[in-house]
Each structure stands twice: as structure tokens, then as C-alpha cells.
Amino acid sequence: MDFKFGEKEEKLRKEIREFTKKELPPGWLSSMLEEESDDKEWAFAMSMSKKLAEKGWLTMSWPEEYGGKGASLWEQLVYSEEASYWGIPGVTMGIGGVDWVGPSLMMFGTAEQKNKYLPLIASGEPDGIWCTAYSEPNAGSDFAKIRTRAVREGDEYVINGQKIWTSAAHRARWCWLAVKTDPDAAKPHNGISVFVVDMKSKGITVRPLMNYVGLHIFNEVFFDDLRVPAANLVGKENNGWYQLMHSLGYERGSIAGRCYGYNKRILDELIVYTRGNGLFREREIRHKLADIAVELETQKVLGYETVWKMSKGDSPVYEPSRDKVFNDHILERLAMLGTEILGGYSQIDPLSRNCKWTKLNGHMEKLFWLFLGFAFAAGTDEVELNIVGQFGLKLPKSY
Amino acid sequence: MDFDFSEDQVMIIDSARKFLEKECPKNKIRELKEDEKGYDPELWSRMAEMGWMGLILPEEYEGTGMDFFDLTILMEEMGRNILPAPFFDTVALCSLPILEYGTSEQKKRFLPKIACGEEIWTLALTEPSASYEPSGVELRATSLQEDYVLEGTKLFVPYANVADRLLVVARTSQEGITALIVDAGSQGIKTEVIPTTAHDKQCEVVFDKVRVPKDNVLGEVGKGWEIVEFLLQRVSVLKCAEMLGGAQFVLEMANSYAKERVQFDKPIGSFQAIQHKLAEVFINVEGLRRLVYEAAWNISTGSPSRLLTSMVKAKANEVYQQTCIQGVKVHGAIGFTEELDLSLYFLRTKASEFMLGDTGFHRERIAVELEDYQPLFMSV
Ligand SMILES: Cc1cc2nc3c(=O)[nH]c(=O)nc-3n(C[C@H](O)[C@H](O)[C@H](O)COP(=O)(O)OP(=O)(O)OC[C@H]3O[C@@H](n4cnc5c(N)ncnc54)[C@H](O)[C@@H]3O)c2cc1C
Ligand SMILES: Cc1cc2nc3c(=O)[nH]c(=O)nc-3n(C[C@H](O)[C@H](O)[C@H](O)COP(=O)(O)OP(=O)(O)OC[C@H]3O[C@@H](n4cnc5c(N)ncnc54)[C@H](O)[C@@H]3O)c2cc1C
């Protein structure tokens, strides 16, 4: 048993803290799900991606030949924790560029695909920005029932259909697209394939969807006779489900640290804020803060456990779902407590950045108005609990 | 960072689990509920032979010199199986403070007897105020020549009915609290078992002009609360480990029941209402496990944290209780009976929650720490 980080990780922690001091405006606080909404924020995020790339941190866990540093999972965890605590924007290269597109291409891509796309992501340039199009109007949790169809014609595929909730499609240079290539497969999972699609192609329409506070996070994406070179198929035809499940493992190492760092910062902000205005002296408030502090410490060590299992070469099955559910509970509590602490001020529109009455940069309101969306993305709580029940407790399938 | 157990630790876990399953089956636990002593002296000597009482005492005191983490995982096994015996009281609540605060004389005199299983000890701290605050200590110890004279009442003293010695926390002056080692047979001590739900032999101990030689002061006069803090900040992690073991077992019981019990032609575990309940419990038990290990490891390696320990106790209190409540729900009416082993665990949760601080108590301690702490974003 050993709960200590090594020297390498501690050194990296220090470097990142120095970096944030130098590169981020004083008092900087960033929120989840926000950078793609606003042009100015997006430009700032992109400038940070570039700097992270220059540091070699953006894709640190990738092998050197693809623009990484071959960093260990523990270094990656430390980076994720710190980056999100300090709110460094631009760490993901759109939706999935760093976390799953790159790793999937490494596992299943052709040499040509690897050489083309991986350095683009690792460069931190706008040409390395991705969106991920899985969900459809009739296939959300039940993702295997997607209907968007790709049909082979010569050395091209012709794609028709619709995606929805596609985050950052309006920023992305590339789309990581899941489609049906065999609608008649005995099991729907066996008819899915993954493609790389150039967002500049003819036949793609991106229609914005606004969320209820007016952020432009996600979109509908329509495909009308979109022609994609067959060389853009990733891995094997009809093997998409298996590939996606396998590559998920890569994403997992960074998620736990990212969530913990983010939450820890919010808790710290709330502690300082309530100490400043005297609310901390109210037993009810300080006890709620204490309770959340317990949950955060638990979240931290659970996340470490997941990374530890991966570091031993195990492929965690239910742990990421466990960690996701745990995080969703924490976010909900933080959002409720944060706005309770702000009281009347929590009514202020989080997007009105310049209102003199805005507290804590509008961060608590943003959290409150965004935590539900954050909880749905990448699998709802109910679906994650199903996974924990089935694979963690070996209970029969419940649906 | 590495969460693997060492080979020795795996051995502790395996041997403890086998031993307890064999020597302390559930029917024995039920028998001991009605037993006057509340523990089985024969089992106690066998535990001593296993080296459990002296597990982390140095060899010079007949111990085996293992570390706090090793004791933590042993406690987890004891919680898993339920061990009705004054082990936590003797070893955790008394031998550890003696090891930490005792004079070499006291250590030589008392520790080997504990290690060999010859003596049972317990902590007499809480009083009718049922509080773990210093203000709760009202029992007076008045200086009289070579002795102190104790006057007052201690409440919820585990296994005082069978203890050979008591570690009594007494007020020696307006501000001063002092820990004293008291012979349980001293004149003027009256012990009565309190009818607790768990039948776990918690006692009221009345001290009527009990004389204790001044040599028996543990630590410094007037600084006895430091010893209580030592218990609150470190030893409580051992109680949490025991609670973790219990919670794990209850979860396993409920989970297997959910697979076996068929209603509406399906195992009830296939109903999402049941499955999600279990999944939430499972998540919390796994979280508690890592927290307990983190705190125990920190203590083992010499960096105990007041904040972390309080976090662990608050979490353990909540998780153990919730696990039992949800466990009963999953079982339906059978969960409401004495017959089901789950009840043995459930009925013990109140004692575990109270021991070394309930949730509100530790929440407040966490808040006190947060009040002074310097957040990272302000310190870099
Ligand atoms: C902010 C945001 C960003 C997103 N970004 C992307 C993106 O970039 N790319 C992308 O492809 N998708 C994205 N999504 C979509 C996301 O993956 C889906 O919302 C999610 O998979 C749920 O699908 P759904 O919204 O259709 O809800 P449904 O699947 O229709 O679910 C509705 C409700 O039913 C419950 N439910 C469904 N099935 C079960 C079951 N078996 N057991 C119990 N309860 C069940 C759900 O938990 C939920 O409460 C995003 C979503 C949000 C909110
Ligand atoms: C104090 C007490 C007094 C009682 N008195 C009487 C009496 O006088 N006469 C009498 O006939 N009975 C009596 N009962 C029995 C009572 O009606 C049953 O306990 C109740 O119907 C549940 O059945 P069960 O205990 O077999 O649990 P089960 O039906 O086995 O249920 C076990 C668990 O599975 C859950 N579950 C079962 N089916 C589903 C489903 N479809 N969806 C989701 N979850 C499900 C349950 O909610 C429960 O959590 C009494 C029970 C108690 C506790």
C-alpha cells in the first residue's frame, strides 16, 4: 500500500502550477461545457491548447512518435487534476480528440490515419479539433440502435442520416462518426462502424441547439449523401461497437482526475467565499461544506483506485461508471450548495459577465445550470448504475 | 501509488477470515448476546495465540511488531464476521495509548499482559452527557497524598463488566483532564451492564471515592485530552475499518439475496429499483474502503491527519448505517427479523456510530479544519 505520488509526478505538479500562474489571468475560473459556446472563450482555449502542446502536456500519454511523451497514467492523472483545478481551457481538442479519437486511432487506425490525424491533435491547432457524433434522436442511451447509414459505393461510403447533441460540431475540423453499416445484423451492436469525416465536406449541415441558459454547446448534424473515402473507415467494418468499448479505457484515466480537480476548486472557492462573508459561521452551511469535503476526498481515492487498476494492466469495467455516478452526485450537491450560498445572487444570468452583482465570476450559477447536462453526456446516471449493477455486482440485466 | 496488499497483509486477511468463520460462527454470536460476560474466554486465548492482541506491539512487549495498517485490515475482518469480544477496547483504545504515552515502566508492566491475552482493558471516557468534547468529562480526580480519588460516573464503557483495568479520563482541575490507569477491582467501583440493543455489554461505571496511585497517571497530569485526541485522530480509523468490514458483508448478503429471491418470476436483483439501490451502496462501500486505507496508511507512515480521520469516521457512520438500511429493504420482511444475520450487524451500527464520535461531531471537526485551511488557489 502506498498513497504517495512519486517525484516525477510531484515535479510535474509544480511545473503545471507555475504554468498556470504565468498563462492564466489572475483569479481565472473556468467552467465545464462552456468554451465552445463563445468565440472569445474559444479563441482563448485554442491559444492554451497550443501552449499545452508546446509543453508536451496536451497528449502526454501518447507515444513520442505521435506527439506525446509516453507519460505514465499517474502523470496523466496529476496533469488532469491540476489542469481542471486551475481551469486550464483547451485540454480536450474538442470532444474526444485527446481522450478517445487519438487512442482509438492508435489501436485500430491504419498507418496513414495515424500519421495524418494524430500529429494534428497533438499540435493543439484548430485543425486537430474533433466532434463526436454518436447520439441520434432515437438512439440516446440505447446507442446501438443508431440509424445513420453508411453504404459502400466503390472506394467510397455514402452516408445519410442525422445526429443530435453533437457538442462542438460548430468548432470541429473532424467528426468521429458512428454509423450503421449492417442494419440487418442479428445484434444491433454488430452492425456499427466508425468513420473519420471531414467537417468541410459537402453533404453536412450543422444546426445549432441552444441549451436553456443560452449556451451553444451542442448541435444537430445532418448527413445528406455525404461521400467519405473508404480509407476513412476506422478499423474493421461492423466492428465499431467493439472498438469503441475498447478505446473507452483510454479516456478513463483522465476523467476521474479531471472531475476531482474541478470539484475541489469549487469547494475551495465556496470555503473562501463563506469565510469572507461570515456564512461559514452558520452551522448548517459549514456542515454541508464539510460533507462535500468528505465526498471529494472519497472521489479522489476512488479515482486513484481506477487508475491504479489500469496501471497494473487491468481493464476496468464498472469502475469508470462508478466514478461517473459518484461525480454526478457531487456536482449536484455542489451546485445546490453553491447557489444556496449565493442566495439571491444566484438569480443572475451566468452569461452576463460584466454585471457588477455577479459573485464568483458567475461560476456557481453556471454549475447549477449545467450540471444536469454534464450528467447526461457520456451516459446518464441510470445507465451507469446499470453497468455498476451488472458488472460490479454481477446482477442480472435489469432492462 | 500502489494499492496492493503485501504478502503478509494477504496472510493476515486470509487467516483472520478463516479463523473467525470457524471459531466465531453466527450461532455463537447469538449465544454471546445472552451470555453474562459477552465474550468467550476460550476464543479470546486463541486469538492471543494468533498474536492478534500484540499485533502491532513491539517484540520487547511480546508483540509481533507489525504496523497500524496491518491492524486496520485485521479490524476489517473482525467487523466482517462480527467478533463479540473486547478486542477493540483492549488493543485499540488502551494498548495503543499506553504504547504512545506510557512510561517505560508502564509499558513493561502492562503491554505484555495485553499481548498475551491475560488482561482485558477498556476506556472509561464518556459520561451521562454522552459527549466526546472535553467539557463532557466531569468525573473528578482529587489529589490526596500519593493517590487520586475518583468520584463520578462513566457511561457506555464497553466490556467494563469483564475488564481487568480501565483507562479512565478524569478532571483533575478546572481546565485539566488526566488519564488514569485504574484497577477494575478497586474498591468503590460499581459496574452495571446497560441494556443496549446490540447486547454488546456497554456499562455504567460508578466511581465512589476510588483511590488510584499517582504512578498510574498515563501521560502528563492535566494533559489527558491529548490522549483522547490521539484516540479521535488515529484509533478511530480502526473502528472505521471494523465498520467497513461489516458494511462489506451486509452488501454481499443483500447482493446474493437479490440474485436468489424470485418474485414475479424474476430474481429481484433484476428489478432496477433493487439493482440501483445495491449499486449505490456498493459505490459507497468501495469509497469507504479507499478512505479507510488512505487514513490508515497515513497513520502507519507517520503522517496522521486530523481532517482525514474525521472524514473517514463521518463517512463510515453514514455508509454503515445506509448499507444496513438498504440491505434490510432488499430483503423485504425477512430483513425485519432476528433470524436473518443482517440484524446482528444492523443492531450494532448505533454503537459503532457513537464510538469515538458520531457524524455531527466529526462534521464539526472537519469544518474547524476547513476554517483554517489555506486553499491551493490562494497559496500558489
Ligand atoms: C451537454 C450534452 C452534451 C452531449 N454531447 C454529445 C456529443 O458530443 N456527442 C454525442 O453523440 N452525444 C452527446 N450527448 C448526448 C448524450 O450522450 C445523451 O444525452 C445520453 O446518451 C442520453 O441519451 P438521451 O438524451 O437520448 O436520453 P434517453 O436515452 O432517451 O434517456 C431518457 C431518460 O431515460 C433513462 N433511461 C434510458 N435507458 C434506461 C435504462 N436502460 N435504464 C434506466 N433508465 C434509462 C435515462 O437515464 C434518462 O433519464 C450530449 C448530451 C448532453 C446533455
Ligand atoms: C411488520 C410486518 C407485518 C406483516 N404482516 C403481515 C400480515 O399480517 N399478513 C400477511 O399476509 N403479510 C404480512 N406481512 C408481509 C408483507 O406483506 C410482505 O413483507 C410484503 O408483501 C413484501 O414481501 P416480502 O417480504 O416477501 O418481500 P419480497 O417481495 O421478496 O421483496 C424483496 C424486495 O424486492 C422488492 N421487489 C419485489 N418485487 C419487486 C418489483 N416488481 N419491483 C421492484 N422491487 C420489487 C421489494 O420491494 C423488496 O425490497 C408483514 C410484513 C411485515 C414487515
Q: What element of type H or E holds B189?
A: strand B189-193
The predicted pLDDT at position A31 comes to 65
Q: How many CB atoms lie within 10 A of CB A27?
A: 8
Kindly list the residues from chain B whose CB atom is less than 8 angstroms away from the CB atom of residue A388: 279, 282-283
Q: Is B112 part of a structural domain of the chain? A: yes
The answer as to whether B52 is a domain residue is yes
Domain boundary among B63, B89, B119: B119
DSSP B238-274: HHHHHHHHHHHHHHHHHHHHHHH-EETTEEGGGSHHH
Asked if A393's CB is within 8 angstroms of B282's CB, the reply is: yes
Could you tell me which of A37, A32, A45 has the C-alpha nearest to residue A335?
A32
Last residue of a domain, one of B63, B93, B119: B119
Ligand closest to Cα of A130 equals 1
Please give the full DSSP string across B82-106, using - where no structure is assigned.
---STHIIIIIIIIHHHHHH--HHH
Q: Which of A165, A210, A217, A371 has the most ligand 1 atoms within 8 A of CB, as the residue to mutate?
A: A165
Query: Is B258:B330 a contact under the CB 8 Å cutoff?
Result: yes
Whether B255 has its CB under 8 Å from any CB of chain A: the answer is yes
Low-confidence ranges of chain B (pLDDT < 70): none
State the total domains in chain B. 3
In terms of domains, do B357 and B254 share one?
A: yes
Least confident of A32-41, A62-71, A278-287: A32-41
In three-state secondary structure terms, A209 is: strand
Let me know whether B187 and B277 are in one domain. Answer: no
Residue in B100, B206, B194, B106 with CA at minimum distance from that of residue B154: B206
Identify the pLDDT of residue B316: 98
CATH, residue B206: 2.40.110.10
Fold type of domain A130-239: Butyryl-CoA Dehydrogenase, subunit A; domain 2 (2.40.110)
Task: Report CA dihedral (A306, A326, B72, B136) to the nearest 10 degrees.
Answer: 160
Torsion of CA B107, B109, B114, B117, to 10 degrees: 160
The verdict on B270 and B325 lying in the same domain is yes
In this structure, the residue with its CA closest to atom 14 of ligand 2 is: B333
The residue to mutate among B268, B270, B278, B326, having the most atoms of ligand 2 within 8 angstroms of its beta carbon, is B268
- Quick: pLDDT tens for B27-62: 999 999 999 999 999 999 999 999 999 999 999 999
Rounded Cα gap, residues A136 and A117, in angstroms: 25
Compute the distance between CA of residue A376 and CA of residue A155 in angstroms, rounded to an integer.
37
Contact B370 A290 (CB under 8 A): yes
Cα separation, B159 vs B202, in Å, equals 6
- Nearest CA to B307 out of B236, B224, B355, B238 is that of B236
End-to-end CA distance of chain A: 39
* Same domain, residue pair B219 and B229: no
- Do B261 and B370 fall within a single domain? yes
Q: Are residues B326 and B370 in the same domain?
A: yes
For an interface test with A, give the residue of B286, B303, B307 to mutate (most A CBs within 10 A): B286
Tens digit of each residue's pLDDT (9 = 90 or more) over A114-159: 999 999 999 999 999 999 999 999 999 999 999 999 999 999 999 9
Domain limits, chain A = 7-91, 130-239, 254-392
Residue A112 has pLDDT above 70, yes or no: yes
Check residue B75 and give its pLDDT.
98
- Over chain A, what is the mean pLDDT? 94
Are residues B280 and A385, on separate chains, in Cβ contact within 8 Å?
A: yes
Q: Is the CB of A96 under 6 A from ligand 1?
A: no
Residues B284 and B365 in one domain: yes
What confidence score (pLDDT) does residue A33 get?
A: 59
**What pLDDT digit, counting tens, does each position of A304-326 carry?**
999 999 999 888 889 999 999 99
B99 and B135 in a common domain: no
Tell me, yes or no, whether B2 lies in a domain. no
Q: Which residue of A has its CA nearest to B291?
A: A298
Q: In this structure, what CATH number is given to the domain that contains residue B353?
A: 1.20.140.10
CATH number of the structural domain spanning residue B114 = 1.10.540.10
- Return the exposure string of B141-172: e unless at least 16 CB atoms fall within 10 Å of the residue's CB, then b: beeeeebbbbbbbbbbbbbbbbbbbbbbbbbb
Q: Does B283 touch chain A (CB under 8 A)?
A: yes
Determine the CATH number of domain A254-392. Answer: 1.20.140.10
Residues whose CB falls within 8 Å of the CB of residue B42, separated by 6 or more in sequence, listed in order: none
Same domain, B56 and B167: no
Q: Are residues B16 and B115 in the same domain?
A: yes
Q: Is A301 on the interface with B (CB under 8 A)?
A: yes
Cβ within 8 Å, pair B290-A389: no
Min Cα separation A161/chain B (Å): 33
Q: Is the pTM of this model over 0.90?
A: yes
* Domain finish residue from B202, B223, B244: B223
Q: Give the distance from residue B290's alpha carbon to the nearest chain A alpha carbon, in angstroms.
A: 6
Residue B1, in any domain of the structure = no
Q: Do A268 and B315 touch (CB under 8 A)?
A: no
Taking the CA of residue A193 and the nearest CA in chain B, the distance in Å comes to 31
CA distance B366 to chain A (A): 6
Cell numbers given for B104: 517505560
Q: State the residue range of the domain holding B191.
A: 123-223
Q: Residues with Cβ within 6 A of ligand 2? A: B 261, 263-264, 268, 271, 273-274, 329-330, 332-333, 336
- Which residue type occupies B102? G
Burial track A316-352 (b if 16+ CB lie within 10 A, e otherwise): bbbbbbbbbbbbbbbbbbbbebbbbbbeebbebebbe
For residue B354, is it within any domain?
A: yes
The reply to whether A130-239 and A254-392 are identical in fold is no
Of all protein residues, whose CA lies closest to atom 37 belonging to ligand 1? A141
Q: How far apart are CA A50 and CA B69, in angstroms?
A: 45
Q: In this structure, are B55 and B169 located in the same domain?
A: no
Cβ within 8 Å of A, B 89-118: none
**Residue B93 shares a structural domain with residue B106:** yes
Residue B127 · residue B205 · CB < 8 Å: no
